Amino acid sequence: MREAEIKKYTKLNELAEQGGIVIFGCGEDVNIPVGEVRQAFSVDAKMYNRSFKNLSITEAEAIYEMCIASICPETVLIHIGEDDLSLFKKDATEFDATYRNLITFIKKKNEKCRIAVVSMRDHDNHPIIEEMNKHLKNIADSEQCEYGDITSKKVWNPKATMSAASFVYSIGFVQPLKNKRPLYDLVKILFCYNV
């Protein structure tokens, strides 16, 4: 299964432009419709979804090398951890070290790459997910990355935001969003639109 996903993304990378925004996530992230979201919110940057169903942090570096490194993203939104709850529960230090290694690896590939670490959703206040999110926040802070907190169930109202943005753009007050917007805005747009 993983081989087919890797092959698909490698083939898509032949068509992709360098310097865009990449979602590097797991689970339901594979279903984020980046094209539609990009168009709906006038995001003036190329966006690519390179997420995998059951992606663990332990394999993320190798997957990044095979499926993302060649397109030299300007921004990477990392949303990995969903499949690592047992690893985190068993050895949080190993989880943290592996996550930091991934960030270091991405920065070595492209030192100007902006990175955001996105929290796990925790609508039920699960103690392990809550603790993992604290670690993810600390990792983001220590590695000088942004942290996108999506733990709350109602983080954002996309329809209201879209209406307001549409009105403001239509009367000429704001140019369409450029690639250098705050990463947390991207996180809300991409990871919270279906909440």
* pTM for the whole structure: 0.85
What pLDDT band is residue 41 in, cutting at 50, 70 and 90?
confident
Asked if residue 2 has pLDDT above 90, the reply is no
What pLDDT band is residue 142 in, cutting at 50, 70 and 90?
very high
What pLDDT band is residue 169 in, cutting at 50, 70 and 90?
very low
Asked if residue 5 has pLDDT above 50, the reply is yes
Which pLDDT score is estimated for 179? 43
What pLDDT band is residue 161 in, cutting at 50, 70 and 90?
low
> What's the CATH superfamily of 2-191?
SGNH hydrolase (3.40.50.1110)
User: What mean pLDDT comes out for the span 133-140?
Assistant: 98
Up-side HSE of residue 173: CA atoms within 13 Å toward CB? 6
